Structure 1
Amino acid sequence: MNNDFVQTLITTGKLAFWTTLILFILGLPIAYFLAYSRFRLKSVVEALISMPMVLPPTVLGFYILVAYSPQNWFGQMMEQWFDVRLAFSFSGVLIASIICSLPFMVQPLQNGLAALPSSLKEASYTMGKSSLTTFFRVLLPNIRGSVIIAVAMTSAHCVGEFGIVLMVGGNMPGATRVASIALYDEVQALNYKAANQYALVLFLVSFVVLTIIYSINKKTV
């Protein structure tokens, strides 16, 4: 294994790790809100969250890249306040990855919470437990399968992402070059041995994730 191959896998793993961790923290309250709240525009909010699942990644990546531009308020604010340029940087790719992978975290958690009987919450409240305690001590342990599926799907999607990373981060070795982009580069260069290495890693990740998901579904049936 050469240094470029190892560095690319490290960048890919780092992006998947931070994306999954941040989305797990953000996804729990969002999923709870969507599972138990009833309001007129709920369908609109759910549609917006789910958009990355149906929208071409290049379209989403384009609008994110435009938002990162110093000519727009977000990019201008980041540059003036924090001296940070998000375009073609790991931080910029991370934010884009979080946006793109949001539904893969939120939807399994939301479905898991919505499927729980209301008697669980009611019994906890009757015993004097707070909403926070009820969530972490009663509801969350009962959706372990959904949590594992959400984490696995988010990680796998992030590892295999191509369009968003290429649009927002480009192809900078050691910074924004991930396995999916490296695979494309090696095929273009007719370096099939290196391409096979990247393809094998992506294949194994996908296989492991699907095995985990099907194993959990089998246990819950």
Structure 2
Amino acid sequence: MEEVLSSFTVEELYPIVVSIKLALMTTILLLIFATPVAWWLSRGQSALRSTLSSVLTLPLVLPPSVLGFYMLIFMGPNGPLGKLTESLGIGLLTFTFPGLLIGSMVYSLPFMIQPLQTSFESLGPRPSEVASTLGVRPFTAFVKVVLPLCRPGFLTGIVLTFAHTIGEFGVVLLIGGNVPGKTQVVSTEIYSLVEAMEYSKAHVLAGGMLVFSFIVLLALALLNRQAGRIFK
């Protein structure tokens, strides 16, 4: 094992850095975006809310290659976002880290929104109503009452989003390609190593992903157990 690890070059280990950077940025940005959206979705059952909820959860059922293909078209030279970025002098986002980040956020969005929405719905409107009767402003009540009570939902969303981003492949490959040092992540590096018949190195990275996945599942189980104790 030590011989295999020492055989990795710095360039071959850099996908780990890119993966962690992508997962962290995706999780932080989705946490900011998904929190108000999930709160709004949890406040009623109108047709508009149901339609938006269905749109936001599409990545759960769409094959990653399909989502990646349409994101590639959307950000390409003939797509709406591609035309906008080119007109602004930014250039195309395809096969760049910013483009990869956008695709990752779209693909991982349901994994942040659903735990938050479920947590808000389970909490119900009662705590906010009690805070309102005490003269607490809605935003203050949300920050000081709702968020602490929904902490298990936030932790679940953060863990799921981070882990899901680490394991992306289809969307990453189509939008970001497999550019070493820029858009090459662990999953695409494993693919490259297998293509090059370097199975020993692929085993190391794949084994690391396996251990990481187990830790994530264990963490989620512990979080759910803790949440069950809190709400009993």
TM value normalised by structure 1: 0.96
Aligned match for 1:145, one of 139, 152, 157: 152
- Correspondence list, 1:200-219, <5 A: 200-219=207-226
* Counterpart Cα distance in 2 of 1:220 and 1:24: 20
* Cα deviation digits, residues 30-55 of structure 1 (max 9, x gap): 11000113422222111111100110
- Correspondence list, 1:33-52, <5 A: 33-52=40-59
Determine if the alignment matches structure 1 residue 14 to structure 2 residue 21.
yes
- Correspondence list, 1:64-143, <5 A: 64-143=71-150
Note the C-alpha offset of 1:56.
0.3
Extract unaligned runs of 5+ from structure 1. Answer: none
Residue aligning to 1:30: 37
Q: What is the identity percentage for the equivalent residue pairs of Structure 1 and Structure 2?
A: 36
Note the C-alpha offset of 1:158.
0.3
Specify the code of the residue in structure 1 equivalent to 2:190.
L
Which region of structure 1 is more displaced relative to structure 2, 62-71 or 8-17?
62-71
Which region of structure 1 is more displaced relative to structure 2, 19-28 or 184-193?
184-193
Aligned match for 2:200, one of 176, 193, 206: 193
Note the C-alpha offset of 1:73.
2.7
Extract unaligned runs of 5+ from structure 2. Answer: 1-7
Give the match's secondary structure for 1:30. helix
Give the match's secondary structure for 1:41. helix
Aligned-residue Cα RMSD (Å) equals 1.2
* Counterpart Cα distance in 2 of 1:95 and 1:82: 18
* Counterpart Cα distance in 1 of 2:72 and 2:146: 38
Residue aligning to 2:170: 163
Specify the code of the residue in structure 1 equivalent to 2:134.
M
Which region of structure 1 is more displaced relative to structure 2, 54-63 or 113-122?
113-122
Note the C-alpha offset of 1:93.
0.5
Residue aligning to 2:4: none
Residue aligning to 1:56: 63
* Cα deviation digits, residues 154-197 of structure 1 (max 9, x gap): 00000000000000011000000000011111112211111012
Note the C-alpha offset of 1:108.
0.1
Specify the code of the residue in structure 2 equivalent to 1:36.
R
TM value normalised by structure 2: 0.92
Give the total of aligned pairs: 221
Note the C-alpha offset of 1:204.
2.1
Q: Runs of at least 4 residues of structure 1 off by over 6 A? A: none
